[in-house]
Amino acid sequence: MSSEKQEKIVSMFDDIAPTYDTANRVMSMGVDITWRKKACDLAFRYLDKKEIDRIVDVACGTGDMMLHWDKQAKKADITLKEIVGVDPSEGMLEVAKKKLPQFSFHTAKATEIPLEDASSDIISITYGIRNVMERQEAFYEFNRVLKQGGLVVILEFMKQEKKTLLDKIRDFYMHKILPYVGGMISKNLEAYTYLPDSIENFVTIDGMQTELEKAGFEISYTQSFSMDISTLFIARKK
């Protein structure tokens, strides 16, 4: 059942790939760019290396986060040898390859990354772990690919345990406004109705931390931004 659902999600992303970047910018009002930059800058601070062999962006989509890794590394005067994008959606990767021909890409699932053991310094997944059905297996796979002391960096929309007034305002936007904006731009209402529904069925922040720890990571940083819309996790391979 989970494999069927996974295939349906991949197909949905294939369909919305051509308008994905535009829809993201409009729906987040550009705020997601700030979150992504912060994730990169904090990860570089925690990794504390001036030379990085490889960063892998899983569920890379059209390559937005890869571009931020590259830009923020240059700003921090860090030598970054290689950035690799991994995604199961051919449609998304088609857009990414045209946009970012300087990077390398693999069509693969988060649970089957085609890279060697202990070969990468950072693995990131931004707004993609929610779409991975076998999430715990993916975390074990991240651990396998990372070097000792390497970091996993996750940005995601998380399920809130307690609903405050701000959470209710956020939920109204997510359920009543966002699907129609995204649907109008992409001509695929179902894809953007899936987003708020998937958040409601997702794990909490505590649940995510527990899963990462079970996979052999130590939590270094957890912080929610912008009315708790987006949460950043940074965890280190023990």
pLDDT at 43: 98
Residue partners of 145: CB distance under 8 A and separation at least 6? 56, 113, 115, 116, 117, 118, 119, 120, 123
Residue 58 CA, distance from chain mean position: 7
Cα–Cα dist 191/182, whole Å: 8
Q: What are phi and psi of 191, to 5 degrees?
A: -60, -40
pLDDT at 53: 98
The answer to which of 21-30, 63-72, 83-92, 218-227 has the lowest mean pLDDT is 21-30
Cα–Cα dist 140/42, whole Å: 23
First vs last C-alpha separation in the chain: 33
Q: Which residue has the tokens 């009543």?
A: 176
> Is the pLDDT assigned to residue 26 strictly greater than 70?
no
Per-residue pLDDT tens digits for 172-204: 776 777 777 776 766 777 767 766 677 777 899
> Is the pLDDT assigned to residue 21 strictly greater than 70?
no
Q: Which DSSP state fits 110?
A: T
Domain span at residue 65 reads: 2-237
pLDDT at 32: 83
- Identity of the highest mean pLDDT range in 47-51, 91-95, 175-179, 222-226: 47-51
| Spatial CA neighbour of 150 closest among 49, 29, 35, 39 | 49
Mean pLDDT, to the nearest integer, of 139-153?
98
Domain count, the chain: 1
89: tokens are 């959606």
Q: Angle, nearest 10°, between helix axes 2-16 and 20-28?
A: 90
Band (pLDDT 50/70/90 cuts) for residue 8 is confident
Residue partners of 28: CB distance under 8 A and separation at least 6? none
pLDDT at 160: 67
Cα–Cα dist 12/7, whole Å: 9
| Spatial CA neighbour of 155 closest among 45, 70, 33, 49 | 33
The answer to which of 26-30, 40-44, 144-148, 155-159 has the lowest mean pLDDT is 26-30
Average pLDDT, the chain: 87
More confident residue, 9 or 144: 144
pLDDT at 19: 66
pLDDT at 5: 75
CATH code, 54: 3.40.50.150
